Amino acid sequence: MRQAAHLVQAVCDGANLTDTWEEMLHAHPDWPASTRGAVRDLAWGTLRDYGRADPVLRRLLHKPLPEPYQALLMVALHRLEQRPDQSHTIVDQAVDAVAVTAPGLRGVVNAVLRNVIRQAEQVARWREADPVACYRHPEWWIARVRASWPAQWTTVLAAGNQHPPMALRVNSRRARTEEVLEAFTAAGIDARTLDNGALLLARPRAVTELPGFAEGLFSVQDAGAQWAARWLGAQAGERVLDACAAPGGKAAHILELADVTLTALELDAQRARRIEENFQRLGVHGQIKVGDARYPAQWWDGRPFDRILVDVPCSASGVARRHPDIKWLRRREDIAHFAAQQAEILEALWPTLAPGGTMLYVTCSVFDEENRGQIARFCNRHADALRLPFDGRLEQQLLPSAEHDGFYYALLHKRR
């Protein structure tokens, strides 16, 4: 609980959850898998519960506790809601956790949590009456989703609070889907195939438990992301650019499907190394360049690309359940910033696309300003940009579901 509270507090202070988690693991290399799993589950679950603790602690505390212990209460409240049958054990664990560094607060923590247990029905009413606590998203986020998806907004928000699914992409250069499924069945791993060939596991597992991962037979990749390479439709012999490519999943998928000359571009050198690691494990080859997609003069050799995959930086509102710190770190004004950055990237890359070529625009967002609005503005500025239908639509907005995260796709053709 103390370690989970440390992660929660770091996010509340503005830190990136993944970076803080990696630092924690580095500091505790002796933790067994069970401890790592328990800490992660508590922290990620508490952060998915955005705003869930606020209406409770406002009423049961005269004033907030010092930050680390307020975060500990948040973790304990999450655990109580998830495991009410273990309520007394959870209270004892929370009291023991606070006693390590602040024994004087044991009584306060004990009183708050036992009041939550005794007043369970009232606590539920407090949460139900508070929209932020009810939907577990910031108020501005709720309003934006409701405006974009008036018929599905509650479903979209509910999906953002769930544990994300785990999907795999079979490396067609090394294995057939049937072979991977047979190996999984023999190992007691339940999986099924989705429409785009993705393998969806019945429950997430550590990759070390999956036979064939080390041999590069498959990669972990959300099923929604696996549409990118297929909808880009690169053909043998073409020059392809994957802009903003790290960690390299979509680029590797393109190389698995077709013999193309691929350039994987990434702004961050450390993240670019992850592309190389993934390429090596999967046995595919592409040119990896470190550079900013907004400034092609720094990295482009002047030869046009036949296909461009532009998976732009975005709010990541479609993958918040996978990265729950996003709910805490994003601000309303960030969306306009992302939209402006996306427009810069599109403007910069369009001249690098050959006449007759295609560009697939991708975000992992559910906000219109970054998606259909962005593409509409771009096409209004460029008479040579034609939107192409794919799978019967001019755009594909995948909303978060039990099978995949949230993504947006639009396919643009450059007139000759």
Give the 3-state secondary structure of residue 268.
Answer: coil
For residues 99, 105, 107, 110, the Cα torsion angle rounded to the nearest 10 degrees is -70
Per-residue pLDDT of the chain (416 residues; tens, 9 = 90+): 999 999 999 999 999 999 999 999 999 999 999 999 999 999 999 999 999 999 999 999 999 999 899 999 999 999 999 999 999 999 999 999 999 999 999 999 999 999 999 999 999 999 999 999 999 999 999 999 999 999 999 999 999 999 999 999 999 999 999 999 999 999 999 999 999 999 999 999 999 889 999 999 999 999 999 999 999 999 999 999 999 999 999 999 999 999 999 999 999 999 999 999 999 999 999 999 999 999 999 999 999 999 999 999 999 999 999 999 999 999 999 999 999 999 999 999 999 999 999 999 999 999 999 999 999 999 999 999 999 999 999 999 999 999 999 999 999 999 99
Are the folds of 167-220 and 227-414 the same?
no
Taking the alpha carbons at both ends of the chain, their separation in whole angstroms is: 61
CA–CA distance, 339 with 201 (Å, rounded to integer):
34
Structure token pair of residue 98: 């606070």
What would the CATH number be for the domain defined by 2-135?
1.10.940.10
Annotated active-site positions, please? Answer: 364
pLDDT at 82: 95
- DSSP conformation class of 104: G
- DSSP conformation class of 321: T
Domain 167-220 has CATH 3.30.70.1170: yes
The domain locations on the chain are 2-135, 167-220, 227-414
Strand partners, 396: 409
Contacts 24+ apart (CB under 8 A), 190-199: 194/167, 194/223, 194/403, 196/223, 196/226, 196/227, 196/230, 197/169, 197/170, 197/226, 198/167, 198/168, 198/169, 198/223, 198/226, 198/404, 199/167, 199/168, 199/169, 199/170
pLDDT at 59: 96
Would the pTM count as exceeding 0.85?
Answer: yes
Of the CA atoms within 13 Å of residue 43, those in its CB half-sphere come to: 26
Superfamily of domain 227-414: Vaccinia Virus protein VP39 (3.40.50.150)
Question: What is the total residue count of the chain?
Answer: 416
